[in-house]
Chains A and B, each alone.
Chain A
């Protein structure tokens, strides 16, 4: 019989431990990543119940959310952040979990670190107390964000109680036009399907556009699956995946690598695989995309105008009105009219070396517009080092950008990097929620790193295609 299972279902079956009394499935978790924000209460739960970590060697910790990106001397100036640092250090020490701490070159944003180290592999299950864990799905696996109680469950049992989602295949055919990046693809998908469109689903991204993407581009797409409401997202493993992993510190070595590569490719969805739903998108239709509202689905192509309220279905008009009021933007306004105060290049969505390279291409030989505050925050210490070896830091600095240490930074502003008052930020991050970047009234425009660079240079939202190849 032909195996009609898609990758998600094969990986699910392989990791199924048993059916729980509640009817949920107990799923084995191959890798557990933890960070300082969502883990301290989980360790307390373990202590309360006198439990140990069942597989400490299957857990890796790093610090990212609260770390300052300028002065990292300990103790941190923020006493609460320092307390969280001490907590994760103590917890990792007591429970025997490896920690990529701030003085370790492997430290960085948890979703940058996993792939970079070769920990994230095809066919695995991976969880982290962080919604953007969907990033790791780029390798063809099940990668899920979980809550703190579930972090405790995984620490204590290396398993999770799960209800199996349906699987929707998102096919993007054709090729992307110049100046259109992975970020634009994911923003376009969310715009098309809505921020709640993925509820109940895992997303398989397939078709020419994803086949031709690098691993870093696939990570950007999978990262934002959660913003479309999907439980997770993945791309089938192929030669690109295998070659990315070859030689990484935590990838298998020698003969074992070849065996692994064979297995990795064998779990990809075949042409016979069945899906619960399918959506087809033409890649040629995707423009550089920018958000105008307060959720990642409220976006338009850079050449479009902000939609009129009456163009929305009745049930969505209230939300659109609320968004425009908060953003201080108007119906039918061209998005390129919008001036910015801050430009942020970073976050688990877009802080990898290829993101910095693309942004640097736009920045090279140009100057940041007067009055615009700019921040480049590499996703990990290794990305930062690589960028400096390539001279990217010099390009950014000469243009007037602030070049920082690795961390989550102004994506969610748990560290000192924050918007002030009603500042508008062109941001390569993933969420434009009200108050997300640290000021309750601060405003966020999501876009690709190259588009952020273009906005920083011109002081307003700019079609990066006008700037590519002209410097």
Chain B
């Protein structure tokens, strides 16, 4: 897989806490058998109720780096949520914290989710709002996010970070490589062996 060491693009500030995946993609759009076309519906209900939503704001169109608050992606496990964000154009998310299923889904799709402090996120969101055309870089090698003169540190759990930076985020391939070990493991689990082991 492609090594993902850094991502650069315009920022999209959405500095709110506890954004759940129902808000990212309302459940009615889960009535589908492919992920195609989900990008158009990202945050659809929020956008309808807030004409100034950053996903509709002309200044942030074409943005790749989403700047969010605490507990981003909480709630439903729907992979449709990161799929919708990705298909809208988001390639990385910087937030104060992430819900874990959402984080795992993003990593499987090659979307880095990095954590920054609340005060740094505020600075980033302000900087992007003041100068929307400014490129923002999420640098996984240096654990930092840069935007113009601003440079803030960020972090990510090591296993997720290294799988992205070394191009080993095809987890299916890695799991398949363990086929022999899988069968061996099954042999030692009591409930798979009539409780005789």
A170–B80 alpha-carbon span in the complex (Å): 32
A80 touches B31 (CB 8 A): yes
- A22-B174, A260-B195, A414-B31 known; A157 vs B182 contact (CB < 8 Å): yes
> A18 — which chain B residues lie within 8 A by C-beta?
178, 181
Partner of A263, one of B79, B158, B159, B195: B195
Restricting to B93-107, which residues have a CB under 8 Å from any CB of A? 97-101, 104-105
B175 touches A26 (CB 8 A): yes
Restricting to A349-391, which residues have a CB under 8 Å from any CB of B? none
Give min CB distance, A266 to chain B, whole Å. 10
A295 touches B191 (CB 8 A): no
Partner of A150, one of B30, B108, B159, B163: B108
A452–B79 alpha-carbon span in the complex (Å): 31
Q: Is B143 an interface residue (CB 8 A)?
A: no
Tell me which of B34, B45, B76, B108 has the highest count of chain A C-beta atoms within 10 A of its own C-beta. B76
A414 touches B191 (CB 8 A): no
Interface residue stretch chosen among B16-24, B59-67, B144-152: B16-24
A16 touches B191 (CB 8 A): no
Size category, B interface: 35 or more
Q: Is B32 an interface residue (CB 8 A)?
A: yes
A26 touches B181 (CB 8 A): yes
A412–B76 alpha-carbon span in the complex (Å): 10
Interface string of B17-55 (1 = CB under 8 A from A): 110101100111011111100000000011011000000
A195 touches B74 (CB 8 A): yes
Partner of B189, one of A28, A54, A318, A441: A28
B residues whose Cβ falls under 8 Å from a Cβ of A: 16-18, 20, 22-23, 26-28, 30-35, 45-46, 48-49, 70-71, 74-80, 82, 97-101, 104-105, 108-109, 118, 157-160, 162-163, 166, 168-169, 171-172, 174-176, 178-179, 181-182, 185-186, 188-192, 194-196
A322–B49 alpha-carbon span in the complex (Å): 12
> B30 — which chain A residues lie within 8 A by C-beta?
37, 65, 414
> B17 — which chain A residues lie within 8 A by C-beta?
315-316, 318-319
Q: Is A299 an interface residue (CB 8 A)?
A: no
Give min CB distance, B24 to chain A, whole Å. 10
Partner of B190, one of A45, A263, A319, A435: A263
- A163-B157, A196-B97 known; A131 vs B189 contact (CB < 8 Å): no
